[in-house]
Structures are given as C-alpha cells and as structure tokens.
Amino acid sequence: MLLSLLINTLAIGTVFSQAESPASKYVMNKFHHYYNEKQPDSIFNMFSTATKTALPLEKTRGFLNQLYTNYGKIEQTSFKKYQSGFGIYKTSFKNQSLQLGLAVDQNQQITGVFARPDVEEGPSKRNLTKMQLPFKGEWAVFWGGDTEAQNYHVVSKMQKNAFDIVIQDASGKSYKTDGKSNEDYYAFGQSLTSPCDAEVVFAVDGVKDNVPGKMNTMHTLGNSVLLKTPANEYILFAHFKQGSVKVKAGEKIKTGQLLGLCGNSGNSSEAHLHFHLQDTEDFNQATGIKCYFEKLTVNGTPKTDYSPVKGEKIRL
C-alpha cells in the first residue's frame, strides 16, 4: 500500500542533481530520530507553512502512526537519488524495506513525504490501443526506456514507462537566449494532441506556469489531462500551459484532436511533455503500461510498433 502525505503523490519533472545535499541529509536524520521516538508533532513542526495548511496535524499523526504500526522503527536509511525534488532513500524498517521520499526546501523544511514498496516489478504490459505521437515536428526523448539510466520514472509503479519529451536545437539545447523565461524554451506553447480516440476522464487548467528552474511540488501534475481508451487504458498528459487546455471531462475525442499547449506547470523545471500510460484510473493502484507507437521516425529512420528511449529524436 502506498502511504503518502502529499495530496498529489506523482513525482514528475526534470531532475539534475543526484548527490545528497546537506539539507536533505540533515532533515532525514531529524525525521529518522523523531519517527523512532514516536514524535509526529516534531515532524509536523518541520513542515513548511504551505504543507502544514494542506496537511493538518491530525493527518500527519495518522500517517506516521500507521507507518509505525505496519512497519516498525527505522533501522537504516541509504540515499539513492533525487526524483522530481524528492530525496529517495532505501529505508530498512523493522518489518520491511520501503522507499522513503522527502522533499526539502531551501529553509530545510519538509514540503512532501511518501513511503512506497521497494520492490522490483516484472516486465511491463504493452498498449493494446494503436497510438500515434501526440505532437507535430521533431522532439527529443529526455527520459524514456526501461532502465534507471534511461528513465528515472522506472522506480514508480504507476509511471515506470513514462516519457519526458522536449524540443532541442542542433546543439542539443532545449532553449534559446538565456533560458530564463518559459518563452525561451522551444517546447513552450507547442500543440499537444490525442494519440488515439478516447474519452476525457479529467482535465485540469488554471495552474500557473513556473519560472524555469523552479517547481510546484504542491500541484505536481500542473495543468493536465487524463484520457481513457476503448481498451480501458489510461493516458496521462501533464504540465500544460496555463489556460490552454481545450477539452473537458466526459468529452469523446478523436485521434489528433488538440488537447492543449505544452507548458511548464506543476512539478516541472522547464517546458516539456510528460506522457505515460497506466492500467487503471486510480493513481495509487495503477501500474504503468509500456507505450509503443504505431508509426514514427526515429533519428531519421522510419519505424513501426516502437517505444522510443532516452536520447532519440522522434517525429511522425
């Protein structure tokens, strides 16, 4: 079972640093101590103001008490990497090993925490629905594939087959000028379309686009659309530009229909498309589905029934 103190538990966005920061180490050590001493109020006092508002003390107590009841004391933690602003720790509890994630701001305050199973998943299911690329022109796969080196999403059961896709110039840069504004990024404002006939499950708009390099960890998906295919597969698009989403919940849409414009909202450090398939609507229960596109061109070579990987340039 996934335990989380976040309203939205997705870890979506671009991450660069993989070395544990002093702030993360300090906060994890304090969390470890207070948790083992059964002091949930002390952990709550480490939360940022926004997190305290969104996640009141009673919810915090309930989460931590349930974690302690089910898994016991923390015996050891080992930092693995960062994933969308979360420090991910392999954590040995008395009863079972879990992945424990802590998001920490510049003031050494906790902005998010989760615990999830630390298990290896079996081979991914593939899509039954025929898919086409959801954009025009040539884009670059920033994250995609089956290994952690290719795709940091693989540690998440739900989004283990996700893609993060950008537009790059001939030098490999995803932006022009100094990259300080969203308009500098080639992907920002580009049209995103439905990869198949589907029904809109939900459509979210109104989340502000971030300043490049800063991420919104409270609204991780940002402006987003979830589609359901006739084969009961679910397709998530995240990080649309504010005010650009063109579809509504319950709407039946066609292949190639405009969904909205690429943006930088939610837990995203620059304008890009996050796209993945999952097997159920419930994010906490879903398992990722590997997406194969029916026809596409990869690094200039036409391919059929292909799932692209990190570093490849793709277009229709």
125 by Cβ neighbours in 10 Å (0-12 / 13-18 / 19+) ranks as middle
155: left (phi over 0), alpha (psi -120 to 50) or beta: alpha
The helix (H) or strand (E) run that includes residue 27 is helix 22-36
Q: If we measure between CA atoms, which residue out of 73, 315, 106, 136 comes closest to residue 215?
A: 106
* pLDDT greater than 80 at residue 81: yes
* pLDDT greater than 80 at residue 130: yes
Q: Which residues in 41-74 are b (16+ Cβ under 10 Å) and which e?
A: eebbebbbeebbebbeeeebeebbeebbeebeeb
Position with higher pLDDT, 274 vs 114: 274
Radius of gyration of the chain (CA): 20
Per-residue pLDDT of 5-59, as tens digits, reads 332 333 334 433 468 899 999 999 999 999 999 999 999 999 999 888 878 899 8
Q: If we measure between CA atoms, which residue out of 309, 315, 313, 304 comes closest to residue 290?
A: 309
Region of poorest pLDDT, from 74-83, 147-156, 247-256: 147-156
Q: What's residue 119's pLDDT? A: 55
Residue 111 tokens, joined: 């902005």
Mean pLDDT of all residues in 290-305: 97
Q: What's residue 218's pLDDT? A: 84
Backbone angles phi, psi at 65, to 5 degrees: -65, -40
Beta bridge pairs of residue 185? 175
Backbone angles phi, psi at 200, to 5 degrees: -80, 120
CB-based contact 269:14 (threshold 8 Å): yes
* pLDDT greater than 50 at residue 4: no
Beta bridge pairs of residue 24? none
Per-residue pLDDT of 182-226, as tens digits, reads 999 999 999 999 999 999 999 999 999 999 988 887 889 999 999
Q: How far is CA 149 from the centre of its chain?
A: 16
* pLDDT greater than 50 at residue 288: yes
Q: What's residue 115's pLDDT? A: 86
| Cα(262)–Cα(86) distance, integer angstroms | 24
DSSP conformation class of 311: T
DSSP conformation class of 166: E
Beta bridge pairs of residue 165? 141, 273
Q: Which domains does the chain have, with CATH numbers?
A: 3-117 (3.10.450), 125-315 (2.70.70.10)
